[in-house]
Amino acid sequence: MEDNAVLEEGFNGLTRAQASLPASWYLDPAHFEREVREIWGRNWVYLCRAETLDGPRAFRTFEVAGQPILLLRDQEGELQGFFNTCRHRGSILCPQAEGTLKKAMITCPYHQWVYDLTGRLRATGPMRKVAGFDRAEHPLHRVRVEEWGGFVFVNLDPDAPSFDELYGAETAYVANWPLEDLRVGHVYSKTLHCNWKVFWENYNECLHCPNIHPELCELVPIYGRAIMARRDDPEWAEHAEDLAPHHSGGLRAGAETWSMDGEAQGRLPGLTDADVEVGMRYVTVTPSVFIAHHADYVRLVKITPKTAETMELTAEWLFHPDTLARPDFDADKITQFGILVMEQDGAASELNQKGMRSSAFHNGVLMQEEYEVFLFQQWVREQLGEAPKSEGAASRASRRAPLAE
């Protein structure tokens, strides 16, 4: 091991205690605006499910990193993304949240400039021709849009690496899930009074699990040991072949999925026994979303920063249409369990935020088990130019996959 190594080689852990981010980074409005620009404005951010734009001329509008975004399908059904801003004097083009354009054109409601669905300027309303103006030089400003598994992401940075380049290895890990075929069966949303990073840090460790999540620890016994995966234990090699859930990270005996009783409502088509035995697999697309894959459904959790000390938490539960059509389908058993866990996490995150307001607290300390929190915080530093970039920091296969050794 290198003398200055930060991560242990034989197991998942930090070699030494590490200072956490400055408390001001969770409280200061000016720093929050910097993060919005330099992190949220330069990374892939989840927008919506592709099926919510149903057919040619369907559109939806969003705000990403404080920027107005227009997402639509052109006449061929292809997704197009633009800044929702007219090239004339900057008016919003589509003030509605969603809808279907009556014609294959986008007309500015202010001065009637008209664009086709690929963003080209076609007409300037009642304005007379004037020297020095060329329509071809005034198309809508594009934003990069990519779709994976029916999930639509946008990136405002034209020079950022592609979605596949950053996350291809991680998404391949869940290739057997029929994501494009799934449909949203339930949505939950709540405002949390904490900085967006606090919620991500909570997601990236399980030291809090025994105290905060008794029901989850009963379902996933390794969480009751305050660790996330087999190799989080320095002595993991001594029981490397032991498939007992408290060592392997799988679900408790007899459980099939994350639900109130642990029972799955069928199995998603295409999954193997190995997929199901894992109990859960994660895809994490920092900074906006993580996606948990289970035997019978997929749960997406979206983080949206609002202010330095508030964020919006949104969860979507996706099911196969055949599951939704079953007469015995009981969504509540699944959604109630997920909501319970998220509300516990939310309450803990709000406690964390309140405590950091102390004038005596300048920054915390990360212990050995908080290696994922360190990696997340290091990623934040790198995004802000406060640390040199390290290969693979933006995307790494989640160590929460218990049987993927």
Mean pLDDT of 352-372: 98
Q: Is residue 289 part of a domain?
A: yes
Domain identity same for 219 and 96: no
Domains of the chain: total: 2
Residue 402 has pLDDT above 90, yes or no: no
**Residue 219 backbone phi and psi in degrees, to 5:** -80, -40
Domain identity same for 88 and 231: no
pLDDT interval class at 3 (50, 70, 90):
low
Q: Is residue 24 part of a domain?
A: yes
Mean pLDDT of 138-157: 98
349's tokens: 């995150």
Mean pLDDT of 63-71: 98
Q: Is residue 279 part of a domain?
A: yes
Count of C-beta atoms within a 10 Å radius of residue 348: 18
Identify the domain boundary among 86, 114, 148: 148
Q: Is residue 368 part of a domain?
A: yes
Domain identity same for 178 and 236: yes
- The CATH code of the domain that includes 233 is 3.90.380.10
Domain identity same for 265 and 377: yes
d(CA 128, CA 301): 50
Given this model, what pLDDT does residue 186 score?
Answer: 98
Q: Going by C-beta distance under 8 Å and a sequence separation of 6 or more, which residues neighbour residue 94?
A: 59, 61, 70, 84, 106
Mean pLDDT of 137-146: 98
Residue 196 has pLDDT above 80, yes or no: yes
Given this model, what pLDDT does residue 2 score?
Answer: 61
Q: Is residue 1 part of a domain?
A: no
78-136: pLDDT as tens digits:
999 999 999 999 999 999 999 999 999 999 999 999 999 999 999 999 999 999 999 99
Strands 58-64 and 113-115 turn out to be unpaired
Share of the chain above pLDDT 90, in %: 94
By the 8 A CB rule, do 70 and 61 touch? yes
Range of 23's domain?
A: 18-43+173-392
Identify the domain boundary among 132, 148, 164: 148
Contacts by 362-367 with C-beta closer than 8 Å and gap 24+? 362/22, 362/23, 363/19, 363/20, 363/21, 363/22, 363/23, 364/19, 364/20, 364/23, 365/17, 365/18, 365/19, 365/20, 366/14, 366/17, 366/18, 366/19, 366/20, 367/14, 367/17, 367/207
Domain identity same for 123 and 193: no
Q: Is residue 167 part of a domain?
A: no
Q: Is residue 157 part of a domain?
A: no
Domain identity same for 94 and 188: no
d(CA 112, CA 127): 9
Domain identity same for 283 and 242: yes
Given this model, what pLDDT does residue 33 score?
Answer: 98
More confident: 155 or 397: 155
317-346: pLDDT as tens digits:
999 999 999 999 999 999 999 999 999 999
Domain identity same for 128 and 242: no
Q: Is residue 194 part of a domain?
A: yes
Q: Return the bridge partners of 69, or none.
A: 62, 83
Domain identity same for 184 and 136: no
pLDDT interval class at 390 (50, 70, 90):
low
Helix H or strand E encompassing 24? none
Domain identity same for 245 and 329: yes
Q: Is the dihedral of CA 377, 380, 384, 389 positive or negative?
A: positive
Count of C-beta atoms within a 10 Å radius of residue 74: 15
Q: Return the bridge partners of 72, or none.
A: 59, 80
Q: pTM for the full model? A: 0.94
Burial 376-393 (b: 16+ CB within 10 A, else e): bbbbbbbbeeeeeeeeeb
3-state SS class at 126: coil
Residue 391 has pLDDT above 80, yes or no: no
Domain identity same for 388 and 307: yes
pLDDT interval class at 39 (50, 70, 90):
very high
Mean pLDDT of the chain: 95
Domain identity same for 214 and 288: yes
Please state, in angstroms and as integers, the Cα–Cα distance from residue 70 to each residue in 86, 89, 102, 121, 172, following that order: 11, 17, 16, 16, 29
Identify the domain boundary among 148, 163, 195: 148
- The CATH code of the domain that includes 56 is 2.102.10.10
d(CA 27, CA 166): 30
d(CA 307, CA 329): 39
pLDDT interval class at 401 (50, 70, 90):
low
